Amino acid sequence: MNILFVHQNFPGQFKHICRVLAAQGRHQVVFLTKPNDNHIQGIRKVVYTPSRPVTPNIHHYIGEYENGVLHGQAVVREAIKLRESGFVPDVMIGHNGWGETLFLKDVFPKAPLLSYFEFFYRSNGADVGFDPEFVTSFDDLFRVRAKNSINLLGMDAADWGLSPTEWQKSRYPDYFRPRISVIHEGVDTDALAPRRFGQISLPNGRALAPDAEVITYVSRNLEPYRGFHIFMRALPEILRRRPKAEVLVVGGDEVSYGRRLPPGENYRERLLAEVTIDPERVHFLGRIPYDAFVGVLHASSVHVYLTYPFVLSWSMLEAMSCGCLVIGSATPPVQEVIRDRENGLLVDFFSTSQIADRIDEVLDHPDRMQALRVAARRTIVERYDLRRHCLPRFAELITRLLAGQPPLVRAPALANGPPA
């Protein structure tokens, strides 16, 4: 079978399925992407580059639209070369967010296109206007509506859609949801299993003491969308109450989502200037290799995960798979997975006192909390396991698309009922 993947940051959400297809050795897999150093053996990577940047001084509502069209054009140029070389895909799979899939059906009209629908922006009920600290203007609301232009065009171009969670699917327009299957990318629960951690060297040269209470926080970047400002403001009280606690913070200083600070500033330095904490017990590890990240999870006594109503992070599911006790924000993406006091603990996103109280509760009663850790891992194994659950469903979806049959859309299995 010939399979064409498209994602600007190879391999993106398709890492696991690409590895499986390559390992089978009976498929020709081509991956269209922008330049990067990532590599998967058996996958042919074809690089595309947009012909030019977005027009200077273009209206800020439509800059992302023009950028999407430029990406779509660049992908199509490489797709035409592939067709001329004799490669014709049986199925095409791509991310809908950046315009890459817009014109693929014009080059390969007979190949079904499965598009990954990650998030549909709304002016209310999700991330926009959620945090009162960051005021939303009318201009923001208009910009958000225009921001969906590529999303909407991509919906029309796709034969079928794929979303990782029920809540993310629920953000899309009613008329399109029946054409979206919910299949998460999957968690390798065999690799991410509870185990004793090895030695962790801290940036100050010390190693974690065996009796340390280890509080962990992970985000790709340290930013408000992932509650970094709330976590930092909770730390002074947490450290006061827990004199043995060591805090491991993983994440970079860029901004993945939301409002950027002026050039040269970052949220970590801004929050460090706002709060008073013991630098000998709060350790900023930055971005670290994946194996080191897993080691942090294995060392965790309690793991804090906060998020706006937005895309759910892989790291929360990975922490649960490792048997971490997760204190999560009571926001819809988290509530889809965590049921309070059954497989984790939920807190008000904005309540620093609740976060401190729940950390106290976990660290004061580690034995009593063991059942929640076991239940957390069971949730991931039963609903998000890569090999036993997600990959078979993905294969079934592709098989039905190739056969011209409508894929099965299963009833959601949520922790707390339908998404709000």
Q: Tell me the per-residue pLDDT of 333-379, one tens digit each, with 9 for 90 and over.
A: 999 999 999 999 999 999 999 999 999 999 998 888 999 999 999 99
Confidence of residue 240 (pLDDT cuts 50, 70, 90): very high
Q: Are residues 29 and 6 in contact, defined by beta-carbon separation less than 8 angstroms? A: no
Quote the pLDDT of residue 420: 38
CA 355, chain centre distance (Å): 23
Quote the pLDDT of residue 367: 84
What's the mean pLDDT in 222-244? 97
CB atoms within 10 A of CB 262: 5
CATH class of 213-382: alpha beta
Nearest residue to 355 (alpha-carbon basis) of 212, 230, 268, 221 = 230
Structure tokens at 192: 């991410």
Calpha distance 367→406 (Å, rounded):
48
pLDDT over threshold 90, residue 76? yes
> Parallel, antiparallel, or unpaired for β 44-47 and 28-33?
parallel
Q: C-alpha dihedral over 392, 394, 399, 403, to 10 degrees?
A: 140
Quote the pLDDT of residue 409: 67
Quote the pLDDT of residue 414: 54
Quote the pLDDT of residue 410: 66
pLDDT over threshold 60, residue 417? no
Quote the pLDDT of residue 415: 56
Please give the model's pTM, rounded to 2 decimal places.
0.93
Residue with tokens 């008073």: 276
Instruction: Give the range among 78-87, 147-156, 201-210 with minimum mean pLDDT.
Output: 201-210
CA 95, chain centre distance (Å): 13
Quote the pLDDT of residue 419: 42
What's the mean pLDDT in 134-148? 92
pLDDT over threshold 90, residue 399? yes
What's the mean pLDDT in 31-53? 96
Quote the pLDDT of residue 412: 65
Give the total residue count for the chain: 420
CATH class of 2-186+386-402: alpha beta
pLDDT over threshold 70, residue 73? yes
Tell me what the pLDDT averaged over the chain comes to.
94
Quote the pLDDT of residue 12: 95
Calpha distance 81→18 (Å, rounded):
22
Which own/partner contact pairs does 410-415 have at CB distance under 8 Å and 24+ positions apart?
A: 410/181, 410/182, 412/166, 412/182, 413/383, 414/166, 414/335, 414/336, 415/335, 415/336, 415/337, 415/338, 415/339, 415/342, 415/343, 415/379
- Tally: H helices and E strands in the chain: 14, 13
Calpha distance 363→281 (Å, rounded):
16
Calpha distance 207→130 (Å, rounded):
39
Quote the pLDDT of residue 179: 94
Residue with tokens 């990318």: 185
pLDDT over threshold 60, residue 195? yes
pLDDT over threshold 90, residue 413? no
**Portions of the chain given CATH number 3.40.50.2000:** 2-186+386-402, 213-382
pLDDT over threshold 50, residue 315? yes
Nearest residue to 331 (alpha-carbon basis) of 317, 347, 320 = 347
Structure tokens at 18: 């690409």
pLDDT over threshold 50, residue 187? yes
Of the segments 140-144, 187-191, 210-214, which one has the largest average pLDDT value? 187-191
pLDDT over threshold 90, residue 204? no
Residue 84, amino acid: E
Output 222 or 366, whichever has higher pLDDT: 222
User: Residues 109, 110, 115, CA angle at the centre, nearest 5°?
Assistant: 75
Quote the pLDDT of residue 387: 94
Q: Are residues 80 and 74 in contact, defined by beta-carbon separation less than 8 angstroms? A: no
Calpha distance 249→236 (Å, rounded):
15
N-to-C CA span, the chain: 40
What's the mean pLDDT in 82-111? 97
Helix, strand or coil, per DSSP, at residue 370? helix
Quote the pLDDT of residue 407: 80
Instruction: Decide: residue 359, CB within 10 A, 0-12 exposed, 13-18 middle, 19+ buried.
Output: buried
> Parallel, antiparallel, or unpaired for β 160-163 and 113-116?
parallel
What's the mean pLDDT in 250-260? 94
